Structures are given as structure tokens and as C-alpha cells.
Amino acid sequence: MQENCLQVGQKAPDFTAEAVVGKQFQKISLSDYKGKYVVLFFYPLDFTFVCPTEIIAFDEMYSEFKKLGAEILGVSVDSKYSHLAWINTPRKEGGLGSLQFPLISDITKEISRKYNVLIEDAGVSLRGVFIIDQKGILKVSIVNNNNIGRNVNEILRLVKADKFVEEHPGEVCPANWDEGKETMKADVEKSKEYFKKYA
């Protein structure tokens, strides 16, 4: 894997690539989504096993991400033609069916390298997911081994958490926080109000 200095809190690397949007080919850039949260996820290959379960799970929860002002972008090293063929394959046959978000072709592997998820020897990407805020800042970076599927509910929770703390300066989200639960103050004395309730 190529080493780089990609870190949470820094500007997310921009890119431009061909994608399947609906059932059409379209060139898109990360910078097209400025002003919105972006959930950028990488998966190894089309027509595999764990991958369609994740992509369909993202699609089924797409409206929940949209409510938060977030867009989803899927990426693999496959060609745009492979993406389209997979979308045109029914779900009951291991295909994706129609998707509400773009699938990006990283056939040059440059996007995967920028996000440090490319397994160079195998020529495929790890299951990386990156949450990028409205200003293009990388807020969350999670990378799974390729035999472990992701929890889309957890990714949604992380978008909610980052959105909450951005809108409520001075507050932080403790362990297992979810929407509607209590947060705490990032202050030595004020944080004790939270700890007293859970002691």
C-alpha cells in the first residue's frame, strides 16, 4: 500500500472520474459536492459477494443520509461498463438493480491511492469509508479488511454525530451516542454534569 499523509482533520483529496449515475455515464468530481456531507466508500470489485450487500444497504438508507444533507459515492477499480452491467443485473441474481447514488470507476486506481486503500499487489481496494464535511474536510476514516462488511447504520450515526457537534460548539458525543441522546460539554468542570448522571 502506498504511504501518504491522509489524516482526519485535513482536506479530503479531490478527484475527477467517470461514474454511472442512474444508468448513464457521467464525469463527477468530489468538489461537485461542496456544501454537502459526502460518504465516500470503496469496495474491492463488482460481481462479488459482500460488496452487493453493502451497496444495497447504502441504497436502502439513502433517504436517511439525504435528510442530513449527505450524499453517497461508491468507488471500485472496475470500469464504468462493469458498474453498468452490475446495475443492470437484478438483485435476486447478485446484481445491484437501480441505485440512487453514483458508482465511480477508479480504473486508474488513483483515487484509491489518494485515500490509501489500494492493495497494490492485488490491484483492488480495501473497504474504506470516508466521511467528508461540507467544507471538504475529512472527518471520519474507517478501513475494514475485505472479508468484513460494514455497518451502514453506524456510518449514518457518525454523520449525525459530526453534524451535531458542528452545530453545537463546545459539545462532544460520548461513547454509543445516538440522535436524541445526551451529549457532554468539552470542559473539565461542565463535563462532570454528564458523569454524575452515569456514575
pLDDT tens-digit series, residues 24-51:
999 999 999 999 999 999 999 999 999 9
CATH class of 16-150: alpha beta
Catalytic residue among 51, 70, 73, 118: 51
Phi, psi of 127 (to 5 degrees): -80, 80
CA pair distance 52, 39, nearest whole angstrom: 17
Amino acid residing at 127: R
- 51 catalytically annotated: yes
What is the average per-residue pLDDT within 150-167?
A: 97
Q: Check: CB of residue 130 under 8 Å from CB of residue 140.
A: yes
pLDDT > 80? residue 12: yes
pTM of the model as a whole: 0.94
For the chain, how far is it from start to end, CA to CA, in angstroms?
44
Taking Cα atoms as reference points, which of 65, 57, 54, 77 lies closest to residue 144?
54
**pLDDT band at residue 4, thresholds of 50, 70 and 90?**
low
pLDDT > 60? residue 3: no
Percent over 90 (pLDDT), the chain: 94
pLDDT at residue number 54: 97
Map out the domains of the chain as residue ranges: 16-150
